[in-house]
Chains A and B, each alone.
Chain A
Amino acid sequence: MPTDRRRPTLADAPFGAVPVAHQFDDFEQQTTADTFGMWLFLATEVLFFGGLFCGYSLYRNLYFDAFTAGSHLLKVKYGAFYTVLLICSSLTMALGVRSAQLRRRTALTVYLILTWIMGFAFVFIKLRYEWYGDYLEGLAPGVHWAPSSESMEMIRHFHATVPHVGLFFIFYFCMTGLHALHMIVGVGLLTTLLIFTRQGRVTGGNYNWVEIVGLYWHFVDIVWIFLFPLLYLIGGRYV
């Protein structure tokens, strides 16, 4: 006789109870396991980005002038805007987690939508305006590498060589690109959460999933907090 492994739903649980997967003994074990799993996953992400940070540090040390020049060629206003955007989105995400804890479905929906909008805006503006702008200016190594005369002025001003500045831009696109990819995944997670919220699946006492997505979102935000100064500000722009 086939074992009954159908996934329990809210319909199965008596009123007030929360569904627990079959492998877990109780709700608490499930939530601590899920949360711990997300923390471990974030640890892997640190190592994933870490390789790029490592390479960046090495080349910055080797080609200090080129990396300074490259940093000056970035659009720092966009960078600052993203930073503000992401910090605000982390705020709305945290407020969303709080709403889920307090079982407030409408508030949670609002906060998730706000976070979603900010995340989407980040990706859209970055790709459509900043990256496309870099491409048009000939600052995309491997795709369109032909720095304009203003860019060449800047490069010469710092006594850098063009190939080394190209190396800076490779790391710039890699690191911000990997980050943007994670933002897109985050936006996808938020979409899923929104669906779950409308279905009432996360405001019946099991706010854990909201918290876990929150952890992921905050992590992606923190990566940006590192990227922004390392890429945009480190050239001593305002010194």
Chain B
Amino acid sequence: MSTVAVEVTPTMPEVHYLNADYGWRSWLFTTDHKRIAWLYLFAITGFFAVGGLMATLMRLNLIEPQGALMEPASYNKLFTAHGLIMIFFFLAPSIPTVLGNFLIPIMIGARDVAFPKLNLLSWYIFMLAGSVFMLAVIRGGVDTGWTLYTPLSTTYANGHVLSAAVGIFISGFSSILTGLNFMVTIHKMRAPGMTWFRLPLFIWSLYATSVIFILAMPVIAITLALIALERVFHVGIFDPALGGDPILFQHLFWFFGHPEVYILILPSMGVVSELVAAGCRKRIFGYSFVAFSSVAIAAISFMVWGHHMFLTGQSVYAGFVFSALSFAVAIPSAIKVFNWTATMHKASVSYDTPMLYAIGFIGLFTIGGLTGLFLASLGTDVHLHDTYFVVAHFHYVMVGGAIMGYLGGLHLWWPKMTGKLYPEAWARFACLLVFAGFNLTFGPQFILGYLGMPRRYAVYPPEFQVLNVMSSAGASILAVGYFIPLVYFTWSAFKGPIAGPNPWGAKGLEWTIPSPPPTNNFEETPIVTQEAYAYGPEEAHVG
């Protein structure tokens, strides 16, 4: 174990990307990837608040078996909006557009992304999409579930399906352009010496995510267009009365829908690699295995969509194929978890918040992933399909997994983005609240699902009440846990202590430049000679 005795007082540069230019025009017409990351950060935090409010109302309603707050019609609109907002307007953008935008050029040694103006356009498209969608919600909402199954959504639903579909359609283009931008950036703009296998694993994950963006999003776009067509012209594409096939919709939707959930988790896995490497001051164990796992997950994710449709009437043999492939896609995720755990062996494990979130992720994602096996396996899926077991499973991976990764990344790179440190004690407290609240919210839901409580139910048999109340109690703790960072992050941006270029003593190109970075990131293009996470026998400087 080597150490270093040098201490440097952290300083902030006089001119950096935040103060290089003033005025609303310098923000709304910026092409600086770092400022665009902030634009996205504000947008998605707003959407998270809206989606979270809806979840709060839902869980409050579920305290009573007959509904404590509202009629089923309203409840149906709430869970539909909650799902659509959280997936399309919070989770999918979160890490790629905030952390990805900020860090990808810096981590590869570039001055900006390949197409900065396209990057800004992506944000405007995203805002337009969000506005159209929120307008649909405000005008009365949609009550079809986020999966928009036909013929309910096309023929029978009375809500604003068309405008909601248009909003999601537009948001897809924002994602496609972002994915395209990232792929070109990573391919073409790496600094000299930055070979593929010297890239941080965060970049590998975002690259895999971008591949899924550009291949899966167009499919949901055309599917939504077909729904819109059917609603406007009343033609029978998915209507059995006119010869249409409602299951065709499900195939098209889930061909997008399954890769979409890997869009939600892959970036977070990339962040966790960074959190663990920095939090352990150690090169990630099995780097190439983790890198290839990201690519394998992206590839196999396109082959498993039928596992959402085991019970719709597709042939049993198709079910066999999809089930087998669904098990296959779990293996690379398991490999990652094992490698992160092994990285902690004989490491120097920090108890700072980023590492706490990483540890939380590893545990909760493991549970989420393993409970996915219950659903991938044909026999057990029969009973658990469309119950709260599924709800618990995907919240474990998306909230216990993806959101914890996002929060961990925000904490790790907040000093880089703002030049300030957040208050560590409050952050650790909030992390523990989130962990405890989350488990209390979603743990009981596994049991509810096994008992048979269906999802999307506004009212339920009285014997399920105790578990529902436990879940709602957990949700209130979780809400507090999410609110606290909002407060201390805002505080720290103005009043926090100065961070300096490398408060964590971590390795990576982003830690070699000032906090906050200058607009062009690097004074001169770095030449990369080391592997990623080269903590090596050389000394680590803190500060």
Contacts and interface: CB of A to CB of B under 8 A. Distances in A.
Q: Is there a contact between chains A and B in the complex with CB atoms less than 8 Å apart? A: yes
Interface of A: 1-3, 5, 21-25, 29, 32-33, 36-37, 40-41, 43-45, 47-52, 54-55, 58-59, 62-63, 66, 141-143, 161, 163-164, 166-167, 170, 174
A142 B237 contact: no
Contact of A32 (B21, B116, B188, B251): B188
B98 interface: no
Given A51-B222, A161-B243, A174-B229, A33 B252 contact: no
Contact of B235 (A1, A41, A170): A170
25 contacts: A1-B20, A3-B20, A3-B21, A3-B519, A23-B105, A23-B189, A24-B114, A25-B525, A36-B187, A37-B115, A37-B181, A37-B184, A43-B214, A44-B218, A48-B218, A50-B222, A51-B223, A51-B252, A58-B248, A66-B243, A142-B234, A143-B233, A163-B242, A163-B243, A166-B242
B180 interface: yes
Contacts of A2: 20-21, 26
Contacts of B223: 51
A73 to B, nearest CB: 16
Interface in B211-243: 214-219, 221-223, 226, 229, 232-237, 242-243
Contact of B112 (A23, A32, A47, A50): A23
B218 A22 contact: no
B113 interface: yes
Nearest to B30: A5
Contacts of B31: 5
A48 B219 CA distance: 5
Given A3-B20, A63-B243, A48 B221 contact: yes
A52 B223 CA distance: 9
A141 B235 contact: yes
Contacts of A51: 218-219, 222-223, 226, 252
B243 A44 contact: no
Most chain A CB within 10 A, of B116, B218, B221, B525, is at B218
Given A5-B31, A33-B188, A51-B222, A43 B215 contact: yes
B183 interface: yes
Contact of A44 (B176, B187, B232): B176
A63 B214 CA distance: 32
Nearest to A45: B218
A29 B108 CA distance: 15
Nearest to A161: B243
Contacts of B299: none
B110 interface: yes
A5 B181 CA distance: 20
A114 B216 CA distance: 36
A167 B236 contact: yes
Most chain A CB within 10 A, of B113, B188, B520, is at B188
Given A29-B189, A142-B232, A167 B243 contact: yes
Given A22-B111, A44-B215, A44-B217, A36 B188 contact: yes
Contact of A37 (B105, B114, B229): B114
A198 B244 CA distance: 51
B112 A37 contact: no
A40 B245 contact: no
Contacts of A163: 236, 242-243
B157 to A, nearest CB: 18
B331 interface: no
Contacts of B222: 48-52
A44 B212 CA distance: 10
Nearest to A46: B218
B226 A166 contact: no
B189 A40 contact: no
Interface in B161-191: 176, 180-181, 183-184, 187-189
B15 interface: yes
Contacts of A143: 233
Query: What DSSP secondary structure best describes chain A's contact surface?
Result: helix
Contacts, number: 121
A52 B251 CA distance: 12
Contacts of B217: 44
A166 B236 contact: yes
Nearest to B251: A54
Contacts of B232: 142
Interface string B137-162: 00000000000000000000000000
A23 B111 contact: yes
B182 to A, nearest CB: 10
Contacts of A164: 243
Given A48-B218, A58-B245, 9 more contacts: A3-B519, A3-B520, A23-B110, A25-B525, A37-B115, A44-B217, A45-B218, A59-B245, A143-B233
* 7 residue pairs, one from A and one from B, having the closest CB atoms: A142-B233, A51-B222, A48-B218, A23-B112, A47-B218, A33-B188, A142-B235
A66 B216 CA distance: 31
Contacts of A142: 229, 232-235
A50 B219 contact: yes
A55 B245 CA distance: 10
A24 B234 CA distance: 50
Contacts of A5: 31, 519
Most chain B CB within 10 A, of A36, A45, A63, is at A36
Contacts of A44: 176, 180, 214-215, 217-218
A124 to B, nearest CB: 24
A3 B236 CA distance: 57
B309 to A, nearest CB: 14
A33 B110 contact: no
A43 B212 CA distance: 11
Nearest to A31: B188
Most chain B CB within 10 A, of A41, A142, A143, is at A142
Contacts of A141: 233, 235
Nearest to B23: A2
Most chain B CB within 10 A, of A1, A40, A49, A143, is at A40
B15 A1 contact: yes
A166 B189 contact: no
Nearest to A168: B243
Contacts of A3: 20-21, 519-520
A47 B219 contact: yes
Contacts of B176: 44
A41 B180 contact: yes
A164 B227 CA distance: 18
A55 B180 contact: no
B116 A23 contact: yes
A167 B215 contact: no
B319 to A, nearest CB: 19
Contacts of B215: 43-44, 47
Nearest to B173: A44
Contacts of A59: 243, 245
